[in-house]
Amino acid sequence: AENWAAWLGINIFLFTYYFLFFDRDERYFYTRAILGSALAWARASAKCLNFNSMLILLPVCRNLLSFLRGTCSCCRRTLRKQLDHNLAFHKLVAYALALLTAVHTVAHLFNLERYNGSQQAADGSLPAVLSKMHLQGGGKWLNPIHSNQTPARQTLQTVEYVAFTTIPGLTGVIITLALILMVTSSTEFIRRNYFEVFWYTHHLFLIYFAGLVIHGIAGLVRGQTEESMEEVHPRRCAQYLTRKDEDCSHNCCKDPEFGSIPAEVGRGENPVPALQVVMHPARVLELQMQKKGFRMEVGQYIFVNCPAISLLEWHPFTLTSAPEEDFFSIHIRAAGDWTERLIDTFQQQKTEMPRIEVDGPFGTASEDVFQYEVAMLVGAGIGVTPFASILKSIWYKFQQADQTLKTKKIYFYWLCRDTGAFAWFNDLLASLEQKMAESGKADFLTYRLFLTGWDTSIANNVALRFDTATDTVTGLRHKTIFGRPMWNSEFAAVAAAHPRSVVGVFLCGPGALAKSLQKSCHQHSSLDPRKVKFYFNKENF
């Protein structure tokens, strides 16, 4: 909240400062005579647009975020947590850009109307005189509209002329269209159901920034030059422009001169050989890839491209391997056209593996799990993937007798709709369950599996085998729970078991679950600094 308040404060400062500057600075006295306050609205919004256009890329510069996360490993936890709000901030800046673009566009439409009206005026007023100065030659123009056509069609033709035959107008139209397409294709519905549309239209940012760089080059909006200000200052000479005579003898006989307002103005793709492909139940594909030159931390994610399917599409996947393993792996669930085609491509290949390109790895909130004494890991469906990496890494740390491991207890919650989704993760949990029991660390990991969707046959089967030592659904020692977790009870139990601990709550799952967990974190954290505190962390892609 503090960072967002700072961002808002900077925007308010920039807008106010430049609004007052262009509304009062005497270099723009004559420009304001034609345009009025629309000049200040256009220029102030332009300054804020430039500032936010610079910021819009920072939250999605994944290499930068990963670097900052690594260099901040010893910093305060709250500082590191700010990096996990990158996408929310990216969206906020995008909405600000849309609003500022609307303000800037409307202000310039008013400017065009004022330019057009003063150019057509023949009443001897100051705007009319200033708009006719181009007739004297020598580049002494202030009004960019030089047409002498009749007023009837002038307004529409003026808009068409400026919008499609000038650099600022044409680039402005292109920038605005690109921004509209990027914002509208970023809605939740489009991203979830037509990801390719979102992905391709978002690459219009290249056109957006190219247009932004050259948008102000032509300098159609002008102000009085510094040299001219010294000779014919508007405060002293403006009144004489409207009543000059042939025998002018005062020192304001020289016309003011005008000049333009100054304009302001890759990914690391690596082909990686797949070492092994494992097809799990419920259409989940595991890709194990060569680790040569690849360094990772727990919970990180990569972007994956398969040129055989699409040269341009890159999709994010969380790493499911541990840093200690000699390969890195991802698990891909069939959840759309691209993933379906990828799974089919690997299943159909009998000899040579399809080429895979990888970008990353990039940091996420899950990297911070070892910064807490107690961790609650919550995964929904395939959202369990970052925790596979964490649980594997913990086991390796136990094997190596790592004395630096701060974490003393992990609670793991996995929510799934169907039994098939449990299958690919069962082997890992069973292995950890056995190995931790053998090493005397059986109490370190407590896991609870929740089946949120089931049919009558499953329920009957479970009832018949209720007394068996292992779970009927998963084959694990811990029984599967039917239904959704009662989070108040879960948090209360953790708080009671660790009354003086700092507990990190990590989620990889939907937004509704995030709100519920965040609420529970606030409710069960003690105001006493010596007692239990819950800190919420959510994965963002």
Q: Identify the pLDDT of residue 392.
A: 81
Say yes or no: 350 and 435 in one domain: no
Is 139 a member of any domain?
yes
> What is the pTM assigned to this prediction?
0.53
Sign of CA dihedral 407, 411, 415, 418: positive
CATH number of 350's domain: 2.40.30.10
Q: Identify the pLDDT of residue 266.
A: 41
Is 393 a member of any domain?
yes
Say yes or no: 158 and 300 in one domain: no
Say yes or no: 80 and 41 in one domain: yes
467 Cβ contact partners less than 8 Å away, ≥ 6 residues apart? none
Q: Identify the pLDDT of residue 355.
A: 84
Q: Identify the pLDDT of residue 1.
A: 58
Question: 392 by DSSP, 3-state: which?
Answer: helix
Q: Identify the pLDDT of residue 236.
A: 78
Q: Are 408 and 502 in contact (CB under 8 A)?
A: no
H/E stretch holding 443: none
* 118-135 per-position pLDDT tens digit: 888 877 788 888 888 877
User: Cis omega (within 30 of 0) on the bond before 59?
Assistant: no
Indicate the residue among 229, 260, 291 that finishes a domain: 260
* CA pair distance 541, 532, nearest whole angstrom: 30
* 458-510 per-position pLDDT tens digit: 544 444 444 444 444 444 555 677 778 888 888 999 998 888 888 888 888 88
Say yes or no: 391 and 527 in one domain: yes
Is 171 a member of any domain?
no
Say yes or no: 482 and 523 in one domain: yes
Q: Identify the pLDDT of residue 443.
A: 77
Q: Identify the pLDDT of residue 16.
A: 93
Q: Identify the pLDDT of residue 104.
A: 93
CATH number of 465's domain: 3.40.50.80
Say yes or no: 482 and 346 in one domain: no
Give percent helix, percent strand, percent coil of the chain, each to the nearest 5: 50, 15, 35
Is 495 a member of any domain?
yes
* Strands lying side by side in the sheet with 502-508: 481-482, 445-451, 409-416, 374-380, 502-508, 533-538
Residue 65's domain comprises 2-166+218-260
Residues of the chain whose pLDDT is less than 70?
1-2, 59-86, 136-139, 147-163, 218, 244-251, 261-270, 349-351, 363-367, 383, 401-404, 418-424, 427-428, 453-479, 539-541
Indicate the residue among 313, 337, 363 that finishes a domain: 363
Q: Are 530 and 500 in contact (CB under 8 A)?
A: yes
Say yes or no: 427 and 507 in one domain: yes
* 60-87 per-position pLDDT tens digit: 666 656 665 565 555 555 555 555 566 7
Q: Identify the pLDDT of residue 78.
A: 55
Say yes or no: 333 and 251 in one domain: no
Q: Identify the pLDDT of residue 361.
A: 81
What are the two backbone dihedrals, phi and then psi, of residue 355, each rounded to the nearest 5 degrees?
-75, 135
Total number of domains in the chain: 3
Say yes or no: 350 and 408 in one domain: no
Q: Identify the pLDDT of residue 43.
A: 92
Q: Which residue has the tokens 């070892």?
A: 370
Q: Identify the pLDDT of residue 96.
A: 93
Indicate the residue among 363, 385, 409 that finishes a domain: 363
